[in-house]
Amino acid sequence: MERDKNFVLGIYDDEDVLLNAVTQIRQSGVKIHEVFSPYPVHGLEHNLGYRRSRLPIAAFLFGLLGTTLALTMQFYMMKFDWPMIIGGKDHASFPAFIPVTFELTVLLAAFGMVGVFMVSSNLKPWGQPRIFDIRSTDDKHVMAIDLVNNSHLERERIVEVLKASGATEVNNKSFE
Amino acid sequence: MQVTSSVREPLVTGGKTYKDVTSDVSRQVEGKPTVGWLLGMAVSLGALLLGSIALVATLWEGIGMWGLNKTVGWAWDITNFVWWVGIGHAGTLISAVLLLFRQKWRTSINRAAEAMTIFAVICAAMFPVIHMGRPWLGAYWALPLPNTFGSLWVNFNSPLLWDVFAISTYFSVSLVFWYIGLIPDFATIRDRATGIRKTIYGALSFGWDGAAKTWMRYEAVSLILAGLATPLVLSVHTIVSFDFATSVIPGWHTTIFPPYFVAGAIFSGFAMVLTLMIITRKVFKLEDYITIVHIELMNIVIIITGSIVGIAYITEFFIAWYSGVEAEQYAFVNRMFGPYWWAYWSMMTCNVISPQLFWFKKIRTSIVATFILSIVVNIGMWFERFVIIVTSLHRDFLPSSWVMFYPTLSDVGVYLFTFGLFFTCFLLFAKFFPVINMAEVKSVLKSSSEKVKR
């Protein structure tokens, strides 16, 4: 038996039951592989003990890059490469450069962050997700528990814990 | 944790379960196109084809095909541009600003409103592109590309160039925001589909699996994108208004333009969302998701922005008088009582008086009245741009160049083309994409549906 192949699935109908279940199950020493939900459940990532996403930092850095690139480009073109007098103003008319700087900051921040999101979450058009239970994109929350990762526990014990936590169904799932 | 309010109306009526949401929204994506949809598609494609004759004529012969002359150098082209961009403001406002303000009612309308935004911005961008005359060379005039003049760059002091950056950033960020929201819903459709449809929606869903970790990142991305899109949406119409405000034409040279244009944009955008959503909810039987509460809330936004626009009109007049600048005073008196008085008074009636009817609860909760008024508002907003642009130009500084503007068939045809394009795109969206954000509606369902509650 290899890791990441054989799972026990707990199916939950209600998000509040799920939230309590996650806390209970983790306290009883069972390691949760992942929970799949049809919609974002607030507080779930906290109960699962995930670290806060660092995507905002990525967005900030990409934004900073946008600001720098935009200002460098405009000063280079307008002041150094081909200085032109427009309306008697200084070549380097900083206030006039702000709108384009703002737009490029937003553009790079948005695209950079979304790019990092796609890569870090492994989202791509040819991506083939592992579907644990097809209802997890419809109306059920599916909790997957890796059997090998929890080899210190009996399978029956895991099922027991899942049932006690309010799972409406407990199933097995194996991948090739 | 969801909190149920005993005071507020539920956001979703009809006691829907999670499964109901999935099947109600996926139904039209999966079913055969209805007769109404095919009819709508035929009309839109007809408009598109008819309009493309005018478009081809304009591109072939040049913009001399339009009714512009030496005095009125900007008319329908920029009127239509500003009008479409204005309409394109509601979607991002609903999805970004209302997300930041935690207005949960946005969930059932944001998807369609964002789609409308994207298509409206495409229609808007048509006009600056066509008006360049030889758009295939346009990249050299609009973008800072190296060229054979070694390099003579674009002018970063010009609001017209700022517009290029503003509109293209707005379009691409809105598109990404919209698509990120679509991914989980495409996954839902993928998991219900079979055969070729499964492959197509599978590719569109980017391999989404709904893992808690991915949802956490998705939420972070949505929040940051909303934070970025909020100043962005305000910047776009601000910069559009700079096209006029930074000039020295009496009637344009006013500092009130940015907030006044932004309010007008939200005003017309919400009106267009209402026009489209009232039809969509009826045709697709989504009355339980887009309820009368949604319509009423949008009407309230229309009262607010309509009143801001009304105050802006009056302020402009007051300042024209108070400034003591004769040319400015003349421009405004000419708007009201000059040869274009009919355009001015249409604008006043449609934009200032008609939205005030929404103070009556009977009117703002009536679907028929809302539908009619939403169209009236957009007619008024078209006239607003026409009044600002044409009446300020047609009486030049030299009385010998005073003229009137008469649109030609090409002017009308190109405008018709954008209508055809807009509705064709929207109908395709409504058929093949989930028109309601299923995942987000499910996330607010618990606070609004009896059956889901425990």
pLDDT tens readout for residues B345-354: 999 999 999 9
The answer, for A35 touching chain B at a CB cutoff of 8 Å, is yes
Asked if residue B113 lies in contact with residue B91, where contact means CB atoms within 8 angstroms, the answer is: yes
User: Strand, coil or helix: what is A7?
Assistant: strand
Tokens of B321: 């008088």
pLDDT for the residue B5: 56
Q: Does A162 touch chain B (CB under 8 A)?
A: no
Q: Is residue B333 very low, low, confident or very high in pLDDT (cuts 50, 70, 90)? A: very high
Name the most confidently modeled range: A17-31, B2-16, B180-194.
Answer: B180-194
Whole-angstrom distance, CA of residue B360 vs CA of residue A84: 58
Rounded percentage of chain B residues whose pLDDT exceeds 90: 55
Domain boundaries, chain B: 18-144+153-445
pLDDT tens track for B299-322 = 999 999 999 999 999 999 999 999
What ipTM describes this predicted complex? Answer: 0.92
Question: Which residues sit opposite A172 in a β-bridge?
Answer: A8
Residue B246, min C-alpha distance to chain A (Å) = 11
Average pLDDT over residues B128-143: 87
Tell me the average pLDDT across B220-241: 91
* B339, pLDDT greater than 90: yes
Q: Is residue B194 very low, low, confident or very high in pLDDT (cuts 50, 70, 90)?
A: confident
Q: State the pLDDT at residue A89.
A: 79
Query: Chain A: nearest CA to B337, how far in angstroms?
Result: 35
Residues 86-125 of A with CB under 8 A from B: 86-87, 89, 93, 96-97, 99-100, 102-104, 106-107, 109-111, 113-114, 117-118, 120-125
Angle formed at CA B249 by CA B245 and CA B250, multiple of 5 degrees: 95
Strands of the sheet with A141-146, listed across from one edge: A34-36, A141-146, A6-12, A169-174
CA distance A162 to chain B (A): 18
Partner residue facing B209 (CB), from A42, A120, A129: A129
CB contact under 8 A, B156 and A78: yes
Residue B297 clears pLDDT 70, i.e. is over it: yes
The alpha-carbon gap from A22 to the nearest alpha carbon of chain B, in Å, equals 12
- Per-residue pLDDT, B441: 87
pLDDT value of position B452: 53
Q: Regarding predicted confidence, which is higher, A5 or B402?
A: B402
pLDDT of res. A130: 85
Give the domain ranges of chain A: 6-52+128-174, 55-120
* Beta-strand relationship, A34-36 and A141-146: antiparallel
**Mutate which: B216, B437, B451, vs A, most A CBs within 10 A:** B216
Which among A34, A89, A131 has CB closest to B157? A89
Cβ within 8 Å, pair B228-A14: no
Q: A111–B176: do the CB atoms touch at under 8 Å?
A: yes
Q: What is the pLDDT of residues B435-452, one digit of tens each?
A: 988 888 888 877 654 545
**Chain A residues whose beta carbon lies within 8 Å of the beta carbon of residue B214:** 121, 123
Mean residue pLDDT across chain B: 89
Q: Which of B21, B92, B154, B165 to mutate to test the interface with A (most CBs of A within 10 A)?
A: B165
Across B128-136, average pLDDT: 89
Say whether B209 and A42 touch across the interface (CB within 8 A).
no
What's residue B8's pLDDT?
A: 64
Minimum mean pLDDT among A96-105, B45-54, B158-167, B281-290: which range?
Answer: B281-290
What is the pLDDT of chain A when averaged over all its residues?
Answer: 87
Candidate from A72-76, A126-130, B333-337 with smallest mean pLDDT = A126-130
Tell which of B108, B156, B192, B453 to mutate to test the A interface (max A CBs under 10 Å).
B156
Structure tokens at B147: 């060229």
CATH architecture of A6-52+128-174: 2-Layer Sandwich (3.30)
User: Residue B447: its pLDDT value, please?
Assistant: 62
First to last CA, chain A: 11
pLDDT of residue B6: 57
- The whole-number average pLDDT for the span B38-54 is 94
pLDDT range class, residue A1, cuts 50, 70, 90: very low
CATH code that applies to domain B18-144+153-445: 1.20.1630.10
Q: Rounded mean pLDDT of A128-157?
A: 85
The answer to whether residue A169 scores a pLDDT higher than 80 is yes
Using a CB-CB distance cutoff of 8 angstroms, which residues of chain B are in contact with residue A44? 212, 215-216
* Backbone angles phi and psi of B100, in degrees to 5: -65, -35
What pLDDT score was predicted for residue B262?
Answer: 92
Q: Do B210 and A136 touch (CB under 8 A)?
A: yes
Using an 8 Å CB-CB cutoff, list chain A residues near B220: 53, 55-56
pLDDT in the model for residue B2: 46
Beta carbons within 8 Å of B354's beta carbon, 6+ residues apart = B306, B373, B376, B377, B380
The yes-or-no verdict on residue A107 having pLDDT over 50 is yes
Say whether A139 and B17 touch across the interface (CB within 8 A): yes
- Mean pLDDT confidence for A74-92: 85
Q: Identify which of A1-15, A41-55, A92-106, B14-28 has the greatest average pLDDT.
A: A92-106
Distance from CA of B131 to the nearest CA of A (A): 22
Residue range A121-143: mean pLDDT, rounded? 87
